[in-house]
Amino acid sequence: MKKVTTIAIIAGAVAAVPAYFLVRRLLQKKQLAQTPSVLNANLKANPQAILTQSSPAKNQSATELFDQDKLQAVISADLNPIKTDQAKKTYPGLIAPNGRILYNFKDENNLIFCEETQLGKRLIQLENSINIRDIGGYTGIDGRKIKWRKVIRSEELAHLSDKDVAYFAALRLKHVFDFRNKSKSERQADRLPKTAEYHLLPIFSSADMELDHKDFTKPGAVDEFMRHIYKIQTEDRAQRFAEVLKYLTEPSEFPILYHCTNGKDRTGFMTYLILSLLGVKEEVILSDYTLTNLTFDESFNLLGNIMSEELGIENYHLWEFYGVKPAWLKISMDYVNSNFGNVESYLMEKTDLREKDFKKIRDNLLAK
């Protein structure tokens, strides 16, 4: 298989997956399987803590938020699933055809909810999207909450419908930052409202991928590849991410959206930097990071065969490309904490940002 094709596929065909599958499967086919027991406890103690529903923003007719009662029913049912032989046969399970144990992206260690998860506000459901989320609502410095609908993390936007674009127009989206490489961004160009200014900020080059001799049929190969990616973006690409942070210093430049292909790795690291600067606890940041795993089944079931055919290997070998592991983001956290003590020092050492910039970002994004 040609290197260029391989890189393009691995970099992310996920953009073709519409929100239709996520919404219908969450609400009709109950695919929040193996939801953590901590969520069950929180739901019993205070169902509203996690499923807080916001009032729709003005001009939000282009999208629908989760129906709170339906979502709660889905989660409750999945916490106590009916186990049948048929279910065991049809669920992709955690055992590959060759007997290999597959990584469980939806167990309590990899799909982590907290009191501030607030799925009803956080998940932005559009017609043709799967992984778009607001980073608002978390508790930052001095107990101040991050403002909603100011900063949005996303998958690529090439597949948005007209109504989806209208949603962002109604939101008055000001800036979109694209972390994909130039080739990918041109092949799958974002669909944006006229209100938004587009910024291409490639994080990786083809050379970074080191795919010439990768054998993804080898157990642990995907995990090794992903750890390599996180190491590069943390140690060598800080200034790229800092370009986004600079826009957060200006109160007139909101709301903004940033994305890569799947909205999980480069986007996940960017979110870590922002939430850390705002004083959000690391365990809450990790929780936000793992919410991408809500979409794991949709990503794997719809794209596994495509990627398998392109690479010429069984799709279960590629299982780990479709989720996120807390251990991957911890690579970044550990590097920052061990070498710099905190994100502020890391950014001042690695970029041209200074303390005055961090103060402006906090003033703009933290409620008084």
Helix (H, G, I), strand (E, B) or coil at 147: coil
Taking the C-alpha atoms of residue 126 and residue 164, their distance in angstroms, rounded to an integer, is 6
Is the sign of the CA dihedral 95, 99, 101, 105 positive or negative? negative
Residues shown for the chain: 368
pLDDT digits (tens, 9 = 90+) for 198-220: 999 999 987 777 655 789 999 99
Global pTM reads 0.80
Tell whether omega for the bond before 255 is within 30 degrees of 0, i.e. cis: yes
pLDDT score, position 353: 98
Share of the chain above pLDDT 90, in %: 62
Mean pLDDT of the chain: 80
Q: Which of 191, 158, 360, 196 is nearest to 277 (CA)?
A: 360
pLDDT digits (tens, 9 = 90+) for 11-51: 444 333 333 334 333 433 333 333 444 443 444 344 344 33
pLDDT score, position 319: 93
Does residue 323 register a pLDDT over 60? yes
Q: What are the distances in angstroms from CA 35 to CA 68, 109, 171, 188, 324?
A: 17, 10, 32, 33, 15
Taking the C-alpha atoms of residue 352 and residue 368, their distance in angstroms, rounded to an integer, is 27
Taking the C-alpha atoms of residue 236 and residue 35, their distance in angstroms, rounded to an integer, is 35
Q: What are the distances in angstroms from CA 117 to CA 16, 139, 290, 333?
A: 26, 11, 11, 21
What lies within 8 Å, CB to CB, of 278 at 6+ separation is 138, 140, 141, 146, 361, 362, 365, 366
Q: Enumerate the β-bridge partners of residue 203.
A: none
Q: Helices then strands (H, E): number in the chain?
A: 18, 5
Does residue 118 register a pLDDT over 90? yes
Q: Are 176 and 196 in contact (CB under 8 A)?
A: yes
